[in-house]
Amino acid sequence: MCAAVDDVVAWLLLAVAVALVGAGGGSLSLPLRLIGLALYLTVMIGAIRPIAARLLRLRQSQDLSIELLGVMVVFAFVSAAATDALGVHPLFGAFLAGVCFPRASSWQETIRGRLEMLVYVLLLPLFFALTGMRTRLDLLNRPSMWLWTVIVLLTATLGKVGGATAAARWTGQSWRESLALGVLLNTRGLVELIVLNIGYNLGIFSPTLFTMLVVMALVTTVCTTPVLNLLGVQNDSQGRQSARSERAHGPVLRS
């Protein structure tokens, strides 16, 4: 839940940032871009999403047909084109289309089964290859560059781990569980790389800063499992599960 809220807020902030930069959008001024973005969000969340949920309830068959799948794919492209016309990155429109997608587990499984191979085998490797080609480690050729990379890494880690740990402690969690939540949220994955590539395309990041941020994303992601093991989170959760099992089945086994 924390990661989902984090992603939603990140996408909203990204949309506003891209609108402020003014990529695309033709001759639209900044106030018009922001107003258009707000109206588009209102229509998608306040109207399209409830209508889609209602159509799902009225539909007799719970199976996702090829025709309906085609309509959903077209809707995602149209939504992406709409945000692009407003001066916001097309990915934000596609994200909104996913938010408005009806919450039917059978439909989600069908879409995943039909599109997963294309996405994972073709599109995702191409995206990672593009990110790798843009990552210029040769630009970090001075101690000062690596010093700034460490500063970026520490700032990103303290922001995520510190903020999540403080919030978890405020809600009454133990220090171990609070730190574990912070470490899990500190993981940067596909969304982080998407944001970095958008910033790079818009000219917000220089190649050097882009490389520093990619290194930060990789290091924070790789460190997640070792840090969790150091905290003993996995072993502790297994121990609690064994204890609960013993409390639940112990009397039966003893009898």
* Other residues' Cβ atoms within 10 Å of the Cβ of residue 114: 13
Domain annotation covers residue 87: yes
Based on the domain organization, do 146 and 250 belong to the same domain? yes
Judgement on whether residues 88 and 152 belong to the same structural domain of the protein: no
Looking at the domain assignment, is residue 117 inside a domain?
no
Token pair 């990041």 is found at 205
* Domain that residue 79 falls in: 1-103
Kindly state whether residue 108 falls inside one of the protein's structural domains: no
Asked if residue 112 belongs to a domain, the reply is no
At residue 154, the pLDDT reads 94
Do 242 and 182 lie in one domain? The reply is yes
pLDDT of residue 16: 77
Show which of 79, 103, 127 is a domain's final residue: 103
Does residue 124 surpass a pLDDT of 80? yes
Last residue of a domain, one of 103, 123, 152: 103
Residues 90 and 148 in one domain: no
Given a cut of 60, whether residue 24 has pLDDT beyond it is no
| Domain co-membership, 21 together with 83 | yes
Quote the pLDDT of residue 118: 85
Report the 3 state secondary structure along the chain: CHHHHHHHHHHHHHHHHHHHHCCCCCCCCHHHHHHHHHHHHHHHHHHHHHHHHHHHHHCCCCCCCHHHHHHHHHHHHHHHHHHHHCCCCHHHHHHHHHHHCCCCHHHHHHHHHHHHHHHHHHHHHHHHHHHHHHCCHHHCCCHHHHHHHHHHHHHHHHHHHHHHHHHHHHCCCCHHHHHHHHHHHCCCCHHHHHHHHHHHHCCCCCHHHHHHHHHHHHHHHHCHHHHHHHHCHHHHHHHHHHHHHHHHHHHHHHC
Convert the pLDDT of each residue in 205-217 to its tens digit.
889 999 999 999 9
Is there a single domain that holds both residue 84 and residue 189?
A: no
- Looking at the structure, tell me whether residues 155 and 241 fall in a common domain: yes
Q: Considering the domain boundaries, does residue 222 fall inside one?
A: yes
Judge if 143 and 243 occupy the same domain.
Answer: yes
* Domain end call among 103, 119, 150: 103
Cα 240 to Cα 69, 175, 179, 229, distances in angstroms: 43, 17, 18, 16
Q: Write 68-74 long-range contacts (CB < 8 A, 24+).
A: 69/110, 69/111, 69/114, 72/97, 72/101, 72/111
- Residue 64: inside a domain: yes
Threshold 0.75, pTM exceeds: no
What's the number of domains the chain is made of? 2
Tell whether 14 and 89 lie within a shared domain: yes
pLDDT in tens, 49-72: 988 888 777 775 667 778 888 888
- 65 shares its domain with 174: no
Of 14-23, 47-56, 83-92, 133-142, the least confident: 14-23
* Domain identity same for 146 and 252: yes
